[in-house]
Amino acid sequence: MVENFDEWFHDILEKANITDSRYPIKGMAIWMPYGFQIRKHTMNIIKKLLDEDHEEVLFPMLIPETELAKEGIHVKGFEDEVYWITKGGQTELNEQLALRPTSETAMYPMYALWIRSHIDLPIKYYQIVNTFRYETKHTRPLIRVREITTFKEAHTAHATKEESDEQIQEFIKIYKEFFDDLGIPYLISKRPEWDKFPGADYTMAFDVIMPNGKTLQIGTIHNLGQTFAKTFDITFEDKDGEHKYVYQTCAGVSDRVIASVISVHGEEKGLRLPPKVSPNQVTIIPILFKKGREEVLAKCSEIKSQLEGKGLRVNIDDRDIRPGKKFFDWELKGTPVKLELGPRDLENNITIAMRRDEGEKIELSLDDDLADNVVDLLDKTSENLSATAWNFQEEHVKFANNLDEIRELVEAGNVVKFYWCGEEEVGHEIEEKTGYDVLGIQEEVSEGKCIASGKDAKYIALIAKTY
């Protein structure tokens, strides 16, 4: 576990060639090649999960002011965060255009055109795009950016409320699978009224505990009810011939997912990437001397092909530098399994494997079983990274009986559960008195007393320091 997390995170992005934040606009950074690969493999997982039952689309980035302004609550929620385009060349535009902060108001006027009858429903579209938010809070690479480069947003429309609630459950299931694939633990909660998405009936959120105890929201799922349907007049003719408004949902993840992959599994010496998203799953490091050099390199290529035959991503680091430096580099970059091969290993028909998560050296023989044995090491790496991360979460969620205990536990790096009566003023009072944020409701209860009002508790809620 890293000591000074914020500093570690900042440094690792640069050292591991993930992003470069020196671009001369605050909150906007460059995806560097290694980071881009991690991002690509991560997004491929969520795409694959969504593609089973959703369709990918691509909308324009600009939204006319009249559309953005139509939904009152929504626009109020975003008014301080929108970037505007006011000119085309030298010409003032007749209507200013917003750089999408999210795409409800870009998509839903089109949904109104596309949806006519119940047979057009449900619509389940998603896109992966960049969105822009003029964040006023302290920006941080991947965590709070002004250009969200990896915004996966899904938008669905349904004939009934029941179907929209089922869709929320489907998104929860998809996000669980997604984060499970990444070995990222999560806390799921229903956001309090004051923190739901602008225009939503309710918001479900996934949060992860970062190494310093602060939580990061890594996914949100919103039931929009009929609010946007009424604003944008999205109606359909039902089986009974009646014209009705649709029910809608939307769900999003962002660059924060990649931030969490880096942070949750990382340690002082560098990244520990889950095999599913690591640019190289196996790095082969030849130990080269003048004598036997060609034979060792030839064997490395042979091993590479053998592993690629199993669908693995493999690289050979044959740079003309000391092997020690190569080990150091791949440790920093978090490649899950390293294979070392020198002339003596070749004579003995073995290679020395090392798992990044455990660091222990294992002798593998260079026979037909090699690829299976490597796959086995990768599977164990995935399981171990995930188990370690879930253990961390389990150890860092505590229960408090009063506000002082909340303070003590949060300051010690925990997320805290407490009984809450559910009243909004009481929620605000708890936030004000502690200085932390109520994440949301985890479960409904019929026992216990509210930690602040003393009234019968309705919920167990979560409170934490947040990003």
Which one of residues 37, 189, 217, 281 is an interface residue with ligand PR8 (CB under 6 A)?
217
Which one of residues 197, 228, 232, 459 is an interface residue with ligand PR8 (CB under 6 A)?
197
Which one of residues 251, 339, 366, 375 is an interface residue with ligand PR8 (CB under 6 A)?
251
Instruction: Assess 219 for contact with ligand PR8 (CB under 6 A).
Output: yes
Which region among 54-62, 172-180, 253-261, 345-353 touches ligand PR8 (by CB under 6 A)?
A: 253-261
Which of positions 422-441 make contact with ligand PR8 (CB under 6 A)?
none
Which region among 36-44, 145-153, 294-302, 313-321 touches ligand PR8 (by CB under 6 A)?
A: 145-153
Instruction: Assess 153 for contact with ligand PR8 (CB under 6 A).
Output: yes
Cα gap 97→244, rounded to integer Å? 31
Cα gap 321→254, rounded to integer Å? 37
Instruction: Assess 196 for contact with ligand PR8 (CB under 6 A).
Output: no
Which of positions 83-112 make contact with ligand PR8 (CB under 6 A)?
102, 104
Cα gap 303→367, rounded to integer Å? 10
Which C-beta is closer to ligand PR8: that of 32 or that of 352?
Answer: 32
Which one of residues 120, 135, 177, 267 is an interface residue with ligand PR8 (CB under 6 A)?
135
Which one of residues 100, 133, 158, 191 is an interface residue with ligand PR8 (CB under 6 A)?
133
Cα gap 172→165, rounded to integer Å? 11
Which region among 229-237, 247-255, 329-337, 381-389 touches ligand PR8 (by CB under 6 A)?
A: 247-255
Instruction: Assess 345 for contact with ligand PR8 (CB under 6 A).
Output: no
Tokens of 213: 């105890």
User: Shortest gap between Cβ of 330 and ligand PR8 (angstroms)?
Assistant: 29
Which C-beta is closer to ligand PR8: that of 217 or that of 381?
Answer: 217
Instruction: Assess 167 for contact with ligand PR8 (CB under 6 A).
Output: no
Instruction: Assess 255 for contact with ligand PR8 (CB under 6 A).
Output: yes
Burial (Cβ within 10 Å: 0-12, 13-18, ≥19) of residue 43: middle
Which one of residues 38, 46, 82, 148 is an interface residue with ligand PR8 (CB under 6 A)?
148
The amino acid at 326: K
Which region among 169-177, 248-256, 437-445, 456-464 touches ligand PR8 (by CB under 6 A)?
A: 248-256
What is the distance, to the nearest Å, from the Cα of residue 57 to the centroid of all Cα atoms in its chain?
20
Cα gap 107→248, rounded to integer Å? 12
Beta bridge partners of 253: 152
Which C-beta is closer to ligand PR8: that of 135 or that of 163?
Answer: 135
Which C-beta is closer to ligand PR8: that of 106 or that of 410?
Answer: 106
Cα gap 396→13, rounded to integer Å? 26
Instruction: Assess 463 for contact with ligand PR8 (CB under 6 A).
Output: no
Cα gap 262→270, rounded to integer Å? 9
Tokens of 350: 């073995």
Instruction: Assess 225 for contact with ligand PR8 (CB under 6 A).
Output: no
Cα gap 442→419, rounded to integer Å? 10
Q: Report the SS3 class of residue 386.
A: helix
Question: What is the CB-side half-sphere exposure of residue 447 using CA atoms within 13 A?
Answer: 0
Of 455, 264, 420, 424, whose CA–CA distance to 463 is shortest?
420
The CA distances from residue 421 to 51, 446, 455, in Å, are 40, 11, 6
Which region among 140-148, 173-181, 281-289, 425-433 touches ligand PR8 (by CB under 6 A)?
A: 140-148
Cα gap 104→71, rounded to integer Å? 10
Q: What are phi and psi of 375, to 5 degrees?
A: -60, -40
Cα gap 451→94, rounded to integer Å? 54
Which one of residues 252, 274, 342, 413 is an interface residue with ligand PR8 (CB under 6 A)?
252
Instruction: Assess 250 for contact with ligand PR8 (CB under 6 A).
Output: yes
In the complex, the residues that contact ligand PR8 under the rule CB under 6 A are 102, 104, 133, 135, 144-145, 148, 153, 197, 217-220, 222, 250-256
